[in-house]
Amino acid sequence: MSSIVAIVGRPNVGKSTLFNRLIKRREAIVDSVSGVTRDRHYGKSEWNGKEFSVIDTGGYIVGSDDIFEGEIRKQVQLAIDEADIILFVVDVEQGITPMDDAVAKILRQVKKPLFMAVNKVDNAMRAADAVEFYNLGLGDYHTISSVNGSGTGELLDALVEEIPEPVEDEETDNELPRFAVVGRPNAGKSSLINALIGEERNIVTNIAGTTRDTIDTKYNRFGFEFNLVDTAGIRKKSKVKEDLEFYSVMRAVRAIEHCDVAIVVIDATRGFEGQDEKIFWLAEKNRKGIVVLVNKWDLIEKETNTMRDFERQIRKKIEPFTDVPIVFISALTKQRIFKAIETAVDVFENRKRKIQTSKLNETMLDIVQNFPPPAIKGKFVKIKYCMQLPTHTPQFAFFANLPQYIRDPYKRFVENKLREHYDFTGVPISIYFRQK
């Protein structure tokens, strides 16, 4: 479970540049789909062996540059509520502005680890100018230049000190599967959970989650046993008047990192929208199992192919990762909610699937010999051997003489063949080509 670091500060201090610098350290994690940056404001980063999630709050402020301070205060408040560590960015060129003052005033109340980064410090003169930021009353600061990266190493060294050591989760096999119900507000997450738990409330225990934001409910009915990670309305949104996109993404980040399978609930009356897509790719990027539930299906006027067309539209939007179960339900009438849970259990099993190396080679080597990667510059790529890596999620290594010549389309071809022969429905697969 990685910690969440939220970058806060007024516009144009270089938050996004810093964000990009932080998440670019692990290229592989960031590009979830080649050429697609669907999530510009959320990424994973790693430093000194510790992983953490980074949220750029600046990316969520909509409007022009003369944005009201209120909007920024709201962002800062949300970041404080939802993140584990706050990174406050200020700009040495501008010095302290009234808005920095306003943000600092809120941050002085915070009991969480807080780091102040004075950005755009790229020479000794500016380093001397940075002293004025002591006046914000937030104690020490780090001078950085997010454009060229100077000072970011020291900042990260200090920051990851605040992140607990990663725990080796060896016993995942005996633990109950964890299903997170995620989705945009009003998609029907609460109704689904109530329908599942039912009035009888077959709850054995209420284990408070590690964060006060996600609560695990032990679920034991219909012969299934699992933990339900509930993100729906755990805390009343009295603080947040509008349905802020930022808020639901922050919620989803929390729940998804907590779970084995993300149950993405979408509202059939609204279709599969940008926000749903964002949550879907968040789960994919975190390598979680995914089930898409189309809720409120009872409200849709149906013709012969309504369901087929609806499903087709969703699959079009989630290309190339289309091997995902889509179940049409109604939480209100309890239509197919049992099927939804059954599907989530199947996906959980698929995610644990291990394939014997001999069987894998028997199947896959035959395929890659018949359909080898296209030759590039007269060089022929030969794949000699493959194996599943001993990781929690399905990852495969293929050993070849010239792995650098294997392009994305071929990787997708290999992934599709793997999916054809072994059941990995709902589970992201990672494929690596390595030097023999």
58 is in an annotated binding site: yes
227 is in an annotated binding site: no
298 is in an annotated binding site: yes
120 is in an annotated binding site: yes
47 is in an annotated binding site: no
230 is in an annotated binding site: yes
The number of residues in the chain equals: 436
186 is in an annotated binding site: yes
CB neighbour burial string for 12-45, b if at least 16 within 10 angstroms, e if fewer = ebbbbbbbebbbeeeeebbebeeeeeebebbbbb
10 is in an annotated binding site: yes
373 is in an annotated binding site: no
201 is in an annotated binding site: no
d(CA 415, CA 396): 9
231 is in an annotated binding site: yes
60 is in an annotated binding site: yes
414 is in an annotated binding site: no
Q: Sign of the C-alpha dihedral, residues 400, 405, 411, 414? A: negative
232 is in an annotated binding site: yes
189 is in an annotated binding site: yes
122 is in an annotated binding site: yes
Going by C-alpha positions, the residue among 341, 324, 311 that lies closest to residue 192 is 341
16 is in an annotated binding site: yes
DSSP per residue, 162-191: TSPPPP--GGGGTSPPEEEEE-STTSSHHH
308 is in an annotated binding site: no
User: Which residues, other chains included, contact 325 with Cβ-Cβ below 8 Å and sequence gap of 6+?
Assistant: 291, 292, 343, 346, 347, 425, 426
Bridge partner list, 217: 206, 228
56 is in an annotated binding site: yes
98 is in an annotated binding site: no
289 is in an annotated binding site: no
183 is in an annotated binding site: yes
Going by C-alpha positions, the residue among 336, 188, 210 that lies closest to residue 264 is 188
234 is in an annotated binding site: yes
188 is in an annotated binding site: yes
User: Which residues, other chains included, contact 48 with Cβ-Cβ below 8 Å and sequence gap of 6+?
Assistant: 156, 157, 160
185 is in an annotated binding site: yes
302 is in an annotated binding site: no
281 is in an annotated binding site: no
H/E stretch holding 337 reads helix 337-352
The single-letter code of the amino acid at 376 is: I
d(CA 88, CA 107): 9
Tell me, rounded to whole angstroms, the distance of Cα 102 from its chain centroid. Answer: 30
182 is in an annotated binding site: no
Binding positions for GTP are 9-16, 56-60, 119-122, 183-190, 230-234, 295-298
Binding positions are 9-16, 56-60, 119-122, 183-190, 230-234, 295-298
